[in-house]
Structures are given as C-alpha cells and as structure tokens.
Amino acid sequence: MAETRQAGPRRITTWVSPELGCVELRSLTEFQDAAGRLTDTRELVTVSLTVGEPDADLFVVRLQYQHVSSSEQLVRAARAEGRQPLQAELAALKQQDELGWTHRIQELSTAGKVPHRRLQVRKQSSGDASCLPLPERE
C-alpha cells in the first residue's frame, strides 16, 4: 500500500505492508524547488526483513558496558586523536551531561552488578512451568 504526502518542499511517498502491521518497506522523498521542479531524491528500501520475535540476546546489557557522559565521550575521542579537548567544548557539554543524568532511564537490568542469566521455560510433566538457566554462549 502506498501513500503520498506533501511536506513543505518535499513530496514523500511511503510503501507499507498492512500484513506486517504497516511496517514501512520503502520511502521515496522528492525535493522540489519553489517552482515545484524536482531537484533531488532520496530513496530508502528494505533490503532484508525477518518476520518473528528478535533474538533476546540483542537486548542484553553486557557487564562491560557502562554509562558514559557526553563530556567523557569527548575526552576519550580527543585522547584517541592525540589531543586534549578544548575547555569550550567541555563547557558546552556540561549542560547536556546534567540533563542526561537528570533524565537517565534507570536500568531495569542488573547490569554491572551480577551476570545476566538467560532462562528458558521448561514445562514439567505436572503442567507447571519452571525457568532453567541456558548454557552460556562463547
């Protein structure tokens, strides 16, 4: 199913699949000048699509991951380039750091505290379900 809409100097056509919950499969943006003539286009096309639940491992927060503020990211990047960050750069990120910590989503996992264990549900002969640890992957 295709839908076209005008958004300022752009005409955007999207193709979606109702069978997949209206997932956007393709998008074509046509940029126009003031006279309405086409000046440029951008097309996004789905190359691969897998139907089904994603692998739960994609959502596991690994133990070695840590929250790093914007200013710390800048310091690390500057050092990797062999330089010190400019004080003006750090000052500009201070407010962003404060907002980041103020609005930080508290982790629902116990990442950084105890190892995450993946579980599988196994039905017992009585019909009850129990969770058993899966073997650790390499």
- Number of neighbours of residue 93 by Cβ within 10 angstroms: 19
- Helix, strand, coil percentages (3-state) for the chain, rounded to 5, are 25, 30, 45
Q: What is the tens place of the pLDDT at every residue in 63-82?
A: 777 778 888 888 999 999 99
Instruction: List phi, psi (to 5°) of 30.
Output: -110, 120
Whether 26 contacts 15, CB under 8 Å: yes
What is the total residue count of the chain? Answer: 138
Q: What is the pTM of this model?
A: 0.41
What is residue 89's DSSP assignment?
H
Give the per-residue pLDDT at 64. Answer: 75
